[in-house]
């Protein structure tokens, strides 16, 4: 059954389909052509007037100085008295559509670069496309609020179909079942996930990220090089020459009694038993979660959010001595608390991706938690489109659909270099495998000598690990 994240992704895919199919500028071209035709008819009528009237030249000059913007030209012509009856009739029809024309102009100004399709539309069809996008945004807002009773089911059915409506009804039925099972808690106006619901997700990924840590203070991560020791009192083994003498005294004396049986006890080397030990380390980690609009495509954010919640739960339960911070980044970066993570979603109002600012904020958080093992976990689709320079924010659309902004990429790589000089490792979960985006993440990983995990949202169990630390490549499959 599809969950709310999947339903929201379906809404986003439908909007993206409209953007990728239609070219709504053609709808405004039709208006411009009609307006030119009306003005030309009126000019011909003025030229054909036989009477020498003083106002004719003034009317010709009026028509010659109309604004280039269709809505402004129509608004100005509203006070004009036409000489040609046919032109006047056609203009009245155009005047009745003034608000729709303004709407189309505003849409082209705000998001015309999103409409990258090749299918031209007329004026009426353009209005229908805008209607669909507005309805989809209204539906997206209702689903994002997490108040299921406020969702317009008729709208959901009309926009996404009967199957999606059935999934939504199933979600409503599941609310009570999830609460009874201890997976969610009802907070009155919303539900919150409990740790039980997310504890096991991401174990494989987390294990690989924390492998081969450097020696540091007491922690819980196993390493190959010797560091601080922790006794494992549940396990013992016979003493071998050279072992630390962490005696299991009870078992040692028991062996002496069983082997000799008398007093005073006579201890032999084979009687000695020592506690097992393991070498561990401590880490300071910041998780960077991409919350830009592009993460809503193809279920990327749903996958990223599952991994992020699992990591937060596992690190805090299994490695309580570790520092674990969370940074969300879209047009700017913000620090997130653990309680904010279940409610986090992508930001439709801020569609840009500022990974540079995310790396900068994460580095500041790590500076407050000194550790020899400082690392960042970046979950992203790899599309940097915003950056900061000298305290100013810059945003720019990619040069091509699915590509990156060259300046944003350069500034992000510079930030990666600064992070590397501080000894911080960057581990990147890449949720897109397009060549342009892979090239960017490969370059960032090469600079940092960190790790990159490549995966598709629908194949989380299979990913390509590019490990620049140990100089090896391996493909992992669960």
321 versus 235: the higher-pLDDT residue is 321
Res 355: pLDDT: 93
Backbone φ and ψ for 333, nearest 5 degrees, come out as: -105, 145
Residue spans of the domains in the chain: they are: 1-23+116-194, 25-114, 227-279, 284-477
The strand pairing partners of 475, in sequence order, are 464
Res 321: pLDDT: 79
209 versus 389: the higher-pLDDT residue is 389
Dmax (CA) for the chain in angstroms is: 141
Question: C-alpha distances in angstroms, 423 versus 299, 373, 419, 451?
Answer: 33, 8, 7, 14
Count the Cβ atoms, other than its own, within 10 Å of residue 129.
21
Q: What is the pLDDT of residues 66-83, one digit of tens each?
A: 999 999 999 999 989 898
Q: Is the pLDDT of residue 473 over 80?
A: no
471 versus 179: the higher-pLDDT residue is 179
Spatial distance between the Cα atoms of 194 and 177, rounded to a whole number of angstroms: 14
Confidence at 470, pLDDT banded by 50, 70, 90: very low
Backbone φ and ψ for 143, nearest 5 degrees, come out as: -70, -35
Res 358: pLDDT: 95
Res 220: pLDDT: 52
Count the Cβ atoms, other than its own, within 10 Å of residue 376.
26
Instruction: Return the exposure string of 278-289: e unless at least 16 CB atoms fall within 10 Å of the residue's CB, then b.
Output: eebbbbbbbbbb
Q: What is the pLDDT of residues 350-398, one digit of tens each?
A: 678 899 999 999 999 999 888 888 989 888 887 788 899 888 998 887 6
What are the DSSP E strand ranges found in 301-413?
Answer: 323-329, 333-336, 374-380, 386-389, 392-395
Tokens of 283: 């880490």
- Provide the mean pLDDT of the chain: 78
Q: What average pLDDT does range 262-273 have in this prediction?
A: 82
Q: Is the pLDDT of residue 229 over 60?
A: no
Tokens of 384: 């940097």
**Closest C-alpha among 308, 299, 468, 472 to residue 379:** 308
Res 213: pLDDT: 43
What pTM was computed for the model? 0.50
Res 465: pLDDT: 37
Q: What is the pLDDT of residues 90-124, one digit of tens each?
A: 999 999 999 999 999 999 888 888 888 889 999 99
CATH superfamily ID and name for 284-477: von Willebrand factor, type A domain (3.40.50.410)
**pLDDT-above-70 percentage for the chain:** 76
Residue written as token pair 């007093």: 263
Is residue 144 exposed (0-12), middle (13-18) or buried (19+ Cβ within 10 Å)?
Answer: middle
End-to-end CA distance of the chain: 23
Q: What is the pLDDT of residues 322-360, one digit of tens each?
A: 888 899 998 899 998 876 776 677 766 667 889 999 999
Spatial distance between the Cα atoms of 117 and 84, rounded to a whole number of angstroms: 39
Res 466: pLDDT: 37
Res 390: pLDDT: 86
Q: What average pLDDT does range 253-267 have in this prediction?
A: 80
Res 369: pLDDT: 85
Confidence at 149, pLDDT banded by 50, 70, 90: confident
Q: Is the pLDDT of residue 455 over 60?
A: yes
Res 127: pLDDT: 92
Q: Is the pLDDT of residue 403 over 70?
A: no
Q: What is the pLDDT of residues 300-319, one digit of tens each?
A: 777 777 667 767 766 766 67
């Amino acid at each position: 059954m599809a969950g709310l994240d999947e339903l929201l992704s379906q809404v986003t895919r439908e909007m993206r389909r409209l953007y990728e199919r239609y070219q709504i500028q053609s709808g405004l071209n039709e208006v411009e052509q009609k307006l030119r035709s009306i003005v030309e008819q009126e000019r011909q009528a003025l030229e054909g007037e036989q009477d020498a009237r003083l106002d004719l030249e003034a009317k010709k000059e009026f028509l010659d100085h109309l604004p280039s913007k269709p809505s402004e030209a129509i608004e100005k012509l509203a006070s004009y008295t036409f000489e040609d009856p046919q032109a006047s009739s056609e203009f009245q029809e155009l005047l009745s559509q003034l608000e729709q024309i303004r709407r189309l102009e505003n849409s082209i100004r705000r998001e015309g670069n999103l409409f990258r399709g090749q299918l031209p539309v007329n004026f009426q069809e353009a209005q229908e496309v805008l209607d669909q996008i507005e309805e989809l945004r209204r539906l997206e807002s209702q689903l994002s609020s997490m108040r299921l009773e406020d969702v317009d089911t008729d709208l959901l059915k009309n926009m996404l179909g009967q199957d999606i409506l059935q999934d939504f009804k199933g979600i409503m039925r599941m609310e009570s079942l999830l609460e009874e099972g201890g997976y969610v808690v009802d907070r009155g106006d919303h539900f919150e996930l409990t740790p039980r619901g997310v504890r096991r997700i991401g174990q494989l990924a987390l294990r690989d990220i924390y492998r081969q840590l450097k020696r540091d203070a007491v922690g819980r991560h196993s390493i190959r090089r010797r560091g601080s020791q922790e006794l494992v009192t549940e396990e013992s083994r016979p003493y071998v020459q050279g072992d630390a003498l962490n005696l299991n005294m009870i078992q040692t004396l028991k062996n002496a009694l069983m082997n000799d049986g008398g007093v005073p006890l006579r201890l032999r080397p084979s009687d000695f038993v020592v506690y097992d030990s393991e070498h561990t380390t401590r880490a300071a980690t910041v998780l960077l979660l991409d919350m830009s609009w592009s993460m809503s495509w193809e279920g990327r954010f749903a996958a990223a959010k599952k991994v992020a919640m699992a990591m937060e739960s596992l690190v805090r339960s299994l490695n309580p001595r570790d520092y674990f911070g969370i940074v969300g980044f879209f047009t700017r970066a913000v620090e997130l608390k653990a309680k904010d993570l279940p409610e986090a979603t992508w930001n439709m109002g801020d569609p840009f991706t500022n990974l540079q600012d995310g790396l900068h904020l994460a580095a500041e958080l790590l500076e407050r938690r000194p550790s020899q093992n400082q690392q960042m976990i970046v979950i992203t689709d790899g599309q940097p489109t915003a950056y900061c320079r000298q305290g100013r924010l810059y945003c720019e659309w990619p040069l091509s659909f699915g590509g990156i902004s060259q300046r944003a990429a350069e500034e992000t790589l510079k930030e990666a270099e600064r992070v590397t000089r501080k000894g911080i490792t960057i581990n990147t979960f890449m949720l897109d495998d397009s060549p342009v985006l892979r090239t960017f993440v490969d370059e960032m990983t090469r600079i940092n000598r960190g790790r990159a995990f490549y995966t598709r949202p629908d194949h989380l169990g299979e990913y390509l690990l590019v490990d620049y630390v140990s100089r090896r490549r391996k493909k992992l499959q669960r």
